Amino acid sequence: MDKREYPHNFWQTLEKPIFILAPMEDVTDTVLRQVIARYGKPTVFFTEFTNVEGMFSKGEKHVVHRLQYTETERPLVAQIWGSQPENFAKAAKKLIDMGFDGVDLNMGCPAQGPVSRGVCSGLINDRPRAKEIIDATKEGAAGIIPVSIKTRLGFRAIDLAWIQFILEQKPAALTVHLRTVSEMSKVPAHWDRMKTLVEMRDALSSETLIIGNGDIKSLNEARQKVAEAGADGAMVGRGIFEDPFLFSEQTALSDKTPEEKVQLLLEHMRLWSDTWGTSKHFPTLRKFFKVYANGFPGAQDLRIKLMETQNPEETEQIVAAFLQSFSY
Ligand SMILES: Cc1cc2nc3c(=O)[nH]c(=O)nc-3n(C[C@H](O)[C@H](O)[C@H](O)COP(=O)(O)O)c2cc1C
C-alpha cells in the first residue's frame, strides 16, 4: 500500500495482537462500548452497522444513533453498509467530519433482506459492485481516514478467490468472520483456514492488517489462535455475553460477588437510561441483565423478574428487593 494513501492510518500505530470488539447491531452501541471500555478495553471498537442510504434520508434519526460515541471509545471505526457507491462516498466524508478514526465496509452480514438486494454479504457474488463501493468509500475518505473491510470466507462455499479479490483492493485492515454466509453461525468457525489467509495477505497486500473472527471466548484463546495463524489480531463478539470483562487482563465477571454483579447491572442500566432516555426500546437492554444476574444463589429468580421489567424504575426496585433479601 502506498503509505501516502493513509497519512493518518491509526491501524498501523496499534500494538499487536490487536483485539477488537465486534460490531453487533442492537448490542455494541455507545453505552455498551463505554461499559466494555471500563471493564477492560479492547484495542479497537466498531460501531453497529449503519446504512448509508439511511444516513441521508428523512428517517436519518432512526439510523444515526448508531454513530453516537464518546472519546473513551477511541480508536473507533464506523461500520457502514448500503447499495449506492455515491452514498458510501458521502458517508465517508461525513464520518471524517464526525471524527471517526476509520470506516469499515460490511460485506459479511447474512441477513435475508440485504442479501436479497445484493448488498452486505450479497456483494461476495457481485465483485464489480463491491469494487465500486470500495473505490467510492476510499474516494470519500480521501486518505484522511483508513478504509477497512469485514467479510466472510465465502458465500455458499469457502471461496479464497473472494479473499484474494478483497486483498487486491488493499484495505487498511481485513477482518474475516471464518464462516461462509450459508453457514450463518451454525458451524464452528474455520480457524484452521486463518494461516492461509495470512499467507495470502503477505503475498498480495503486505500492509493490510488481517484479523480473524469467530467463536472466541477469552483473551488467552484469542492470543493462541492469532499466534498459531500469524495473524495481526482477533475480533470478539458474542463472547462478551459470557464475560463482559473478556478484554480485561486482570478480572472476570465470575470474580465478582453477587452484590457487585447487580451493582454493575444497575450502573450499566443507568448509563443506558441517561444516554437514550425513551428514545430506544427499554427491552433491548434486558439481554444484558441475563449476563449480570448469573452464577449465584437466587440468580435465576432474579433473571426471571428482570426479564419482565419495562423501565429503569422497575429494574431498580427489583434489584433493591433482591439485595435486601440477599443480605439475610
Ligand atoms: C446480535 C449480533 C449482531 C451483529 N451485528 C453485526 C453488525 O452490525 N456488523 C457486522 O459486521 N457483524 C455483525 N455481527 C457479526 C459479529 O460481528 C461477528 O462477526 C460474529 O458474531 C462472529 O463472532 P463471535 O463468534 O465472536 O460472536 C453481529 C452478530 C450478532 C450476534
Cis, peptide link before residue 17, omega less than 30° from 0: yes
**Measured CA distances, 245 to 172, 233, 238, 277 (Å):** 28, 18, 12, 26
Rounded to an integer, the average pLDDT of 130-156 is 98
Q: Are 48 and 73 in contact (CB under 8 A)?
A: no
Mind listing the pLDDT tens digit for each residue in 237-269?
999 999 999 999 999 999 999 999 999 999 999
Q: Are 36 and 21 in contact (CB under 8 A)?
A: yes
Q: Rounded to an integer, what is the distance from CA 179 to the centroid of its chain? A: 16
Give residue 220's pLDDT band: very low, low, confident or very high (50, 70, 90): very high
Residue 97 has pLDDT above 80, yes or no: yes
* Cβ 29 under 6 angstroms from ligand 1: no
Rounded to an integer, the average pLDDT of 39-61 is 97
Rounded to an integer, the average pLDDT of 228-244 is 98
Mind listing the pLDDT tens digit for each residue in 124-139?
999 999 999 999 999 9
Indicate if 109 belongs to the active site: yes
DSSP conformation class of 187: S
Give residue 326's pLDDT band: very low, low, confident or very high (50, 70, 90): confident
Helical (H) or strand (E) element with 44 = strand 44-46
pLDDT score for 8: 78
* Cβ 150 under 6 angstroms from ligand 1: yes
Give residue 328's pLDDT band: very low, low, confident or very high (50, 70, 90): low
* Cβ 176 under 6 angstroms from ligand 1: no
Q: Are 148 and 20 in contact (CB under 8 A)?
A: no
Query: Quick one: what percent of the chain has pLDDT higher than 70?
Result: 97
Q: What is the mean pLDDT of the chain?
A: 96
Q: Which amino acid is at 208?
A: T
Residue 3 has pLDDT above 80, yes or no: no
Q: How far apart are CA 82 and CA 104, in angstroms?
A: 12
Q: How many C-beta neighbours within 10 Å does residue 165 have?
A: 16
Which of 109, 172, 189, 200 is catalytic? The answer is: 109
pLDDT score for 320: 96
**Measured CA distances, 315 to 37, 86, 259, 265, 275 (Å):** 24, 45, 15, 10, 17
pLDDT score for 2: 46
Q: How far apart are CA 124 and CA 126, in angstroms?
A: 6
Q: How far apart are CA 297 and CA 307, in angstroms?
A: 17
Q: How far is the CA of 103 from the centre of ligand 1 (A)?
A: 17
Classify residue 143 as exposed, middle or buried by CB count within 10 Å of its CB (0-12, 13-18, 19+).
middle
Mind listing the pLDDT tens digit for each residue in 190-216?
999 999 999 999 999 999 999 999 999
Q: How far apart are CA 22 and CA 7, in angstroms?
A: 25
Give residue 7's pLDDT band: very low, low, confident or very high (50, 70, 90): low
Catalogue the E-assigned strands of 144-290.
147-154, 173-180, 209-213, 233-236
Q: How far apart are CA 239 and CA 220, in angstroms?
A: 12
Q: Which atom of ligand 1 is nearest to the CA of 175?
A: 19
Q: Which of 27, 36, 177, 191 to mutate to test the pocket of ligand 1 (most atoms within 8 A of CB)?
A: 177
Nine-digit cell string for 256? 465478582
